[in-house]
Structure 1
Amino acid sequence: MSETEHSGDRITEARLWRDNGWTARVIKNDDDDGWAVAMTPDGQVEPALVGPWTMGRDKKNPKPLDTSAFHTLVKTATEFVRRHEQQLHATLHQRVEIDHRGARVEVLLDIEPDEENPTATLRAMDADGAVLAEVKVPPSFKLTRSSASAWAEAGFSARVS
């Protein structure tokens, strides 16, 4: 059975805990002689977060997982994933406001990530939310107040520099 097929089973072992949508697995730290803990959300293959784990009293083996540690790890990993998702959203959906001909204009850059063919759309909207212009741009386009103002000054042309 695969990892995801077991995701509903609660496990509370010294080096493996699964509950509340997460799996904590204590693993050997490849960087030194210590231990690490990998936090993987249910349904995922790769861990969302890997961090150092405490040595046990014998200074050779890892400290066993327990309820308190697991709940702290879930909270930390959940917060880490949430911050990563917010950062990704901010990268893919950017916006700046500029003044153009005495009016406030909001310029938005929406990037559609795709490993083979990413796309991006640059859109200008007036204060009422009406679309003034919309053009396709390279996903590498850098949206700044300066680039948005230059686009506006060029009459929101289809050619954006």
Structure 2
Amino acid sequence: MSDQEVQLIQEDRVWQAKEWTARVIKNEDDDGWAVAMYKDGQAEPALVGPWTMGRDKKNPKPLDHNAFNTLVKTASEFVRRHEQQLHATLNKNLIINGAEMDYKICLQIIPDEDEPYAYLSAFDLDGEQIAKIKVRPDFKLNQASAMKWMQQEFARID
């Protein structure tokens, strides 16, 4: 069976489609139910939230097409916001005013598990890279550190 012929599960407690799987699970915190949203290929859920009880007030409400679509929209938005936040944490930039021209200074942190590092780059306002050096991942990019680097003619920082 090819990847395109994979049988998707669409049952009361498990629903698959659109690169997502929803699983209704017992809520560990109380007597209710929760739904865990898994992005295809991920072992951990991207989002876990409360799930509605069924009419018998004992079992969970069954998943259906409309509920699943709403869950996918919510989980996708949550993942997108998380990725934006991570990008903002790992990438910072600012503009500094030089005597002859202005520069955009960028810090890009590479979160390697064994040896994280970062790059500090300078660009002119046309986007042409003037300098790029490797720095510690805890380098603090601010107006003062950027000005100091510019005044050192973008030399390597130790």
> Shorter chain as normaliser: what TM range?
0.7 to 0.9
Superposed displacement of residue 13, structure 1: 1.0
Aligned length: 155
> What is the match of residue 57 of structure 2?
59
Give the residue type in structure 1 aligned to 2:134: K
> What is the match of residue 41 of structure 2?
43
> What is the match of residue 149 of structure 2?
151
Runs of 4+ in 1 over 4 A off after TM superposition: none
Superposed displacement of residue 74, structure 1: 0.6
> What is the match of residue 7 of structure 2?
9
Moved more, 145-154 or 54-63: 145-154
Post-superposition CA distance 1:54-90 (Å, at most 9, x none) = 1122222211111110000011111111121222222
User: Is structure 2 residue 76 aligned with structure 1 residue 85?
Assistant: no
> What is the match of residue 96 of structure 2?
98
Give the residue type in structure 2 aligned to 1:101: A
Unaligned runs of 5+ in 1: none
Kindly, what percent of the aligned residue pairs are identical? 59
Give the TM-score taking structure 1 as reference length.
0.86
Post-superposition CA distance 1:4-39 (Å, at most 9, x none) = x8x942211111101111100001111222211110
Give the residue type in structure 1 aligned to 2:80: R
Aligned pairs (5 A) from 1:104-119? 104-119=102-117
Give the residue type in structure 2 aligned to 1:93: N
Distance (Å, rounded) in 1 between the aligned partners of 2:139 and 2:7: 46
